[in-house]
Amino acid sequence: MRNRGHRSRGLVVTVVAVVAALVGGAGLTGCDAVGGDSPSPTGTTARAAKPSPRPTPAWDRTPRSLAAVGDSITRGFDACSVLTDCPEVSWATGTDAKVNSLAVRLLGATGAARHSWNYAATGSRMSDLPAQMAQAAAKKPELVTVMAGANDACRASVSAMTSVADFRTQFEDALTTLRKTLPKTQVYVSSVPDLKRLWSQGRVNKLGKQIWKLGICPSMLGDADSLSAAATLRRDTVQDRVESYNTVLEEVCAKDRRCRFDGGAVFEYRFGSEQLSHWDWFHPSKDGQARLAEMAYGVVTARTPPA
């Protein structure tokens, strides 16, 4: 083994000397190691000379534009005055300093005003999302936020709720609509809030219950004080449907490498009296909108998606 090593080192020294002599004789200068008119290295030699660049991460934590789609929550409904949209306090695109929306956190106040758009609509359901996605796609945003599904459960009756199968098809259609023109745009998907908890929190407020009678989420909020077996079964059925919707959102989003689900953060958040509108005790207040913005920002800027 020792003699073989001496022979190897001797061979290396000889080769180096020969190469040095050839290089010196050719008079090569600068970084052109193959000569001015020599062909570029190919095959294995080229790969060794030019290391492969680092792969671009699938998720960009600093998107430079944002469009929002969804329902009344993203429109800031009942956050400023009764039965009225208030998009300036939207968790996604609002400009109100106290909310510090996702757009403001990502783009700054000026950037949010110029490069964020809100296509959510009060009362919309998942079936409306493909059209909203088409509107959003026209702006070519780098990030689209989705918060939809509450109105699919908030129907006049339990039987009128959107089926889980239809909900899945409609959400898939919405993502397909976006991907037809924007294959690389990122999507943040919020879970549907815990409607039963919102009922539990709001039912202690007399004014809120009067507003509920105007038609806010009757499947969950109707006959708010009743604790009968029928009322309990109705609310539990709505709650089960919401949980199924969230499963769909998670599963469909997981199939798209540029989509992030919030991991159930919004559903699990315990909205208290300060986070609920003091007009209807059901929709988020300004403080509630700020909490939604905070949760979204955490997911969008995280190095890895929620477990």
Please state, in angstroms and rounded to a whole number, the distance separating the CA atoms of residues 296 and 262: 7
Q: Which residues contact 242 (CB under 8 A, 6 or more apart)?
A: 149, 150, 153, 192, 193, 194, 195, 196, 267
- Which range (42-56, 78-92, 186-200, 285-299) has the least confidence? 42-56
pTM check: above 0.85: no
- What pLDDT was estimated at residue 56? 55
Please state, in angstroms and rounded to a whole number, the distance separating the CA atoms of residues 202 and 220: 12
Inform me whether the pLDDT recorded for 21 exceeds 70. Answer: no
User: pLDDT category, 10, cuts 50, 70, 90?
Assistant: very low
Inform me whether the pLDDT recorded for 161 exceeds 70. Answer: yes
Q: Contact at 8 Å (CB) between 192 and 150?
A: yes
Inform me whether the pLDDT recorded for 264 exceeds 80. Answer: yes
User: pLDDT category, 277, cuts 50, 70, 90?
Assistant: very high
Question: CATH homologous superfamily for 66-194+245-271+283-301?
Answer: SGNH hydrolase (3.40.50.1110)
pLDDT tens for each residue of 62-115: 999 999 999 999 999 999 999 999 999 999 999 999 999 999 999 999 999 999
pLDDT tens for each residue of 31-70: 322 333 434 444 444 444 455 555 556 899 999 999 999 9
Mean pLDDT value of segment 110-138: 98
Sequence ranges of the domains in the chain? 66-194+245-271+283-301
**Amino acid, single-letter form, for residue 179:** R
**Amino acid, single-letter form, for residue 39:** P
- What pLDDT was estimated at residue 307? 84
Inform me whether the pLDDT recorded for 288 exceeds 50. Answer: yes
The number of beta carbons lying within 10 Å of the beta carbon of residue 80 is 17
User: pLDDT category, 176, cuts 50, 70, 90?
Assistant: very high
Please state, in angstroms and rounded to a whole number, the distance separating the CA atoms of residues 155 and 178: 27
Please state, in angstroms and rounded to a whole number, the distance separating the CA atoms of residues 223 and 214: 12
Which residues does residue 145 pair with via DSSP β-bridges, in sequence order? Answer: 68, 188
Mean pLDDT value of segment 250-274: 97
**3 state SS for the chain:** CHHHHHHHHHHHHHHHHHHHHHHHHHCCCCCCCCCCCCCCCCHHHHHHHCCCCCCCCCCCCCCCCEEEEECCCCCCCCCCCCCCCCHHHCCCCCCCCCCCCHHHHHHHHHHHHHHEEECCCCCCCHHHHHHHHHHHHHCCCCEEEEECCHHHHCCCCHHHCCCHHHHHHHHHHHHHHHHHHCCCCEEEECCCCCHHHHHHHHCCCHHHHHHHCCCCCHHHHCCCCCCCHHHHHHHHHHHHHHHHHHHHHHHHHHCCCCEEECCCHHHHCCCCHHHECCCCCCCECHHHHHHHHHHHHHHHHCCCCCC
Please state, in angstroms and rounded to a whole number, the distance separating the CA atoms of residues 190 and 146: 6
Q: Could you tell me the end-to-end alpha-carbon distance of the chain, in angstroms, rounded to an integer?
A: 54
pLDDT tens for each residue of 214-261: 999 999 999 999 999 999 999 999 999 999 999 999 999 999 999 999
- What pLDDT was estimated at residue 241? 98
- Which range (47-51, 162-166, 173-177) has the least confidence? 47-51
